[in-house]
Amino acid sequence: MSKIGGLGRGLDSLFADTADNGSSIVELRISEIEPNKAQPRKKFDATALNELAESIKENGLLQPILVRPYKDGYQIVAGERRWRACRLAGLSTVKATVMDMDDSKVAYLALIENLQRENLDPTEEAAGYKNLAESYGASFEEIAKRVNKSRSYVANAVRLLSLDEKSLAALKEGKITVGHAKALLSIEEPELRKQALEKAIGGASVRETERAQKTAKTKTASLHDNYYSEVELTLKKSLHRAVKITVAQNGKGKITLEFYNKDELKEIANRLGKKEW
């Protein structure tokens, strides 16, 4: 996954209201600081971490970590990798900037710091967006604005989390790409998806996986003909979100609309009901 662009404004400028709170760089005991368990990054490359620790031994910590007061000590907002490296380097203290901020702002800063400075895998990035939506009521539009992405980019990233367990694990481990994952999402038949996943892991290109997707759709064409596809596309454009129409052999079916918080549900209800909720 390539580095996320367009985030060069820096963390402080994205949250300017925290920049003037009188914060300053201080030395804190490493034992006083704990990581944020809700931060998006769940794994740290051991080799890179050791290299950073050796650099810190030789040159010191060039950039302070960002923390907030938490319980009887402090919680990391940004810089867990540097904090871990300082521990590996045998330091007892670490340079830190202390700021008061709420959980929502911590979640945004942690996500943006990771997107700026070190690649998240696609599942970690998606989980970060989903956490902001579900835990803090942020709309995809709000999240997209903060991370300088489009709403559709954020929505499509979160949609990856609906992959089956094996496909999601393959994406997380880098065995398949986001392109493969998007194609697999469109294969509803479990056995056909399993076969396409195995081929993708074995080296099949994204285009080949997309062809498998089209083959699967052809096999179920009687259940989802052009009429339903056109209606589905029209609803997607009208509602600005993922829409899925599923039709059975007897002609009965259902429409599935995705939403991730109360505000998004309210938006759907307003559009469909022609009234304000």
Q: Indicate which residues carry an active-site annotation.
A: 80
How far is residue 233 CA from its own chain's centroid?
A: 25
**Of 122, 189, 200, nearest in space to 156 by CA:** 122
233: CB partners within 8 A, 6+ apart: none
Write the DSSP assignment of 31-88 as a string of letters: GGEE--TTSS-----HHHHHHHHHHHHHH--SS-EEEEEETTEEEEEE-HHHHHHHHH
DSSP, res 138? -
* Total residue length of the chain: 277
Q: Which residues contact 226 (CB under 8 A, 6 or more apart)?
A: none
DSSP lists the bridge partners of residue 172 as none
Give the separation between CA 253 and CA 218, rounded to whole angstroms.
Answer: 18
CA 255, CA 194: separation in Å to the nearest integer?
25
Amino acid (1-letter code) at residue 187: I
Q: How far is CA 240 from CA 186, 247, 259, in A?
A: 18, 22, 11
60 Cβ neighbours under 8 A, 6+ residues apart: none
Give 121's contacts (C-beta < 8 A, 6+ positions apart). Answer: 1, 171, 172, 174
